Amino acid sequence: MSSALFQPLTLRGLTLPNRIVVSPMCQYSAVDGSATDWHILHLGQYVVSGAGLVMIEATGVEPAGRITAECLGLWSDENEAALARVIRTIRPYASMPIGIQLSHAGRKASVRRPGQGRGPLPREEGGWQTYGPTAQPFDKGWEAPLALDREGMDRVVCAFAQAAQRADRAGLDLLEIHAAHGYLLSAFLSPLGNVRTDEYGGSQCNRMRFPLEVFDAVRAVWPSQKPLGMRFNGTDWLPEGLQGDDAVAFARELKARGCDYMDLSSGGSAPAEIPLAPGYQVPYAAQVRREVDVPTMCVGLIRDPLHAQAIVADGEADLVALGRGMLNDPRWAWHAAEALGAKTQVPHQYMRGETRAGLPSQDTIVRGT
């Protein structure tokens, strides 16, 4: 019996060889937004991992949109050239498409990178002015953001569209817009972050308006044959925040505008107790897939290949993305193929490391070298 996890999936003009996705993982290794040799090292191991898609980390569309000062950006010619260099270096060895996630961290920007402590980065240490739907800070001890006016919103829309054009020129195959985790677009979507009283706040329809304007602007400039997806929250984990029905309503609007897949995550709009467990966010991907009839991606502490296989086989999601699991084991896709009796692409340089049913794949009887 063939493995559902290792079946190809076509999105627009792009076919992924299997359903395993290397999640976008912040690396905190950019210089003024520009990728460095670390990104070649980091992404290089994953383009030969046997996964179906590799996603580049959340990438700021303007300097103020970075999470940390060391986060990747795509707002300048220098950023574009640095990213293109990374893609040119790793592309010849890739067995799968390469995508990127565009982001604006909003009122949760300007924080310390891991290893430097937690929380906001003070101005005297290099922090910067943040932006949000209103001047409401994310939490106690956080600087109040500047509320985006129409001019500021237009600037952000333009920044997303220009970053998408840069991503296309750099050679990326797929693009995802980040509207989860309490970042700027997520803050507009959630009543926890959006208390505006104009046409961009209040009702569910109004709160969706600005994220949809960003999506429309990106879809207009992103090549028609290339897939465009969006990550957003299935829940804020608080009763007054977003719930599953809100995610379904947003997904319906996105589908009508040409969104090719939905990446369901959760939390981050306000401090909340989250019941972490393997697959804890899968139900939100399943709900959107079932009620909107659109391909979905699920994330969230998924490490067991049998679990990932069941998610796809049972129709809960079309793609399974791993972050921490891939950091721990860049050969996860190999091991999943072995466990499921499937086959994934392995570079000829590494074939002697591949195993099947617990045995070496070649040179088991006669060793010529």
User: Which residues have a Cβ under 8 Å from the Cβ of 147 and sit 6 or more positions away?
Assistant: 131, 132, 133, 134, 135, 196
Show which residues are catalytic. Answer: 183
- Please report, as a single letter, which amino acid is at residue 10: T
Question: What is the helix (H) or strand (E) element at residue 103, kind and residue range?
Answer: strand 98-103
In sequence order, the β-bridge partners of residue 297 are: 263, 319
Are the beta carbons of 149 and 131 closer than 8 angstroms?
Answer: no
Q: Which of 237, 264, 248 is nearest to 318 (CA)?
A: 264
H-assigned helices in 171-296: 184-189, 204-221, 244-256, 282-292
CA dist 229 and 23 (Å) reads: 13
CA dist 144 and 160 (Å) reads 23
Among residues 15, 55, 13, the alpha carbon closest in space to that of 224 is found at 13
Angle at 177 between CA 255 and CA 117, to 5 degrees: 145
Closest CA to 48 of 323, 342, 297, 344: 344
Q: Please state, in angstroms and rounded to a whole number, the distance separating the CA atoms of residues 122 and 105.
A: 16
- Residue owning tokens 């996964």: 51
